[in-house]
Amino acid sequence: MNHDLLLESIAKHIHLTEDERTLFLSYIQTKKVRKKQYLLLEGEVNRFAMFVTSGCLRSYNLDENGFQYIQQFAPEGWWMGDMYSLITQEPGHLYIDALFDSELLLISKTNLERLYKEIPKFNYYFRILAEKSLVSYQTRAMENLRLTAKERYEKFCLRYPSLVDCLSQKQVAAYIGVTPEFLSKMLHAEPELKS
């Protein structure tokens, strides 16, 4: 089944008994989405944490001129959600949609809270995940000030090796924070970037 990827990810950090695994899986639902389908709109409350078992999601926000700024890509094996809205259950600022047809595992906020109560070691699992994610956003926040567009492109390639060849330049530009025109110019001026 496609729960395996998620169970593996969990097994790296905590050990679940047979019963715990069964309880956990009872809290999970699956969802298939088509390319371009929205999973969350700005202003909505994010009621599900999503785990990608195939395909790829992205989260982004729009500025007042309609420019997209991509916060995260979530290929296979990644968690996705609007953390702010998930935590507070208030309307968030992110859009989440599918870049390709995708399969997801969902756990609702309600079930997540149950899980924390009934199997407290999930606090540990999600603490570790939050801490790792924190480190990577701390790093990215600094890099976004410090690095040039070319250097940010190189970091993108390291972070999402599986996506480098399957995303459009437009998506990559919206992630590294440049215009598609500039990214095109840059890739032609520096052909060695297209490894």
Partner DNA sequence: GATTTTTCTTAACCTGGATTAACTGTTTTG
Partner DNA sequence: CAAAACAGTTAATCCAGGTTAAGAAAAATC
Where on the chain is the footprint of a copy of itself (CB under 8 A)?
61, 63, 67, 69, 71, 83-84, 87, 116, 120-121, 123-124, 126-127, 130-135, 137-142, 144-146, 177
- Min dist CB 139 to a copy of itself, Å, is 8
Closer Cβ to DNA, 46 or 102, answer by number: 102
| Residue 98 vs residues 6, 36, 89, 125, 166: alpha-carbon distances, Å | 19, 5, 22, 26, 14
Window contacting DNA (CB under 7 A); options: 12-20, 40-48, 122-130, 163-171: 163-171
| 164 interacts with DNA by CB under 7 A | no
Binding-site member from 168, 191, 192, 193 for DNA (CB under 7 A): 168
> Helix, strand, coil: what percent of the chain each, to 5?
45, 25, 30
Closer Cβ to a copy of itself, 43 or 177, answer by number: 177
Q: Which does 38 bind (CB under 5 to 8 A by kind): DNA, a copy of itself, none?
A: none
Query: Is there a contact between 95 and 59 (Cβ–Cβ < 8 Å)?
Result: yes
- Taking alpha carbons only, the member of 79, 59, 76, 51 closest to residue 174 is 59
Tokens 């009872």 belong to: 26
Touching DNA, residues 32-51 (CB under 7 A): 36
Window contacting DNA (CB under 7 A); options: 13-21, 25-33, 49-57, 162-170: 162-170
Tell me, what amino acid is at 10?
Answer: I
Tokens 């785990």 belong to: 51
| 188 interacts with DNA by CB under 7 A | yes
Structure-token pair, residue 149:
């567009």
DSSP 161-191: TTTTTTS-HHHHHHHHTS-HHHHHHHHHH-G
- Taking alpha carbons only, the member of 174, 169, 171 closest to residue 187 is 169
| 16 interacts with DNA by CB under 7 A | no
Q: Which does 84 bind (CB under 5 to 8 A by kind): a copy of itself, DNA, none?
A: a copy of itself
Site residues for DNA per CB under 7 A: 36, 65, 148-150, 168-170, 177-182, 184-185, 187-188
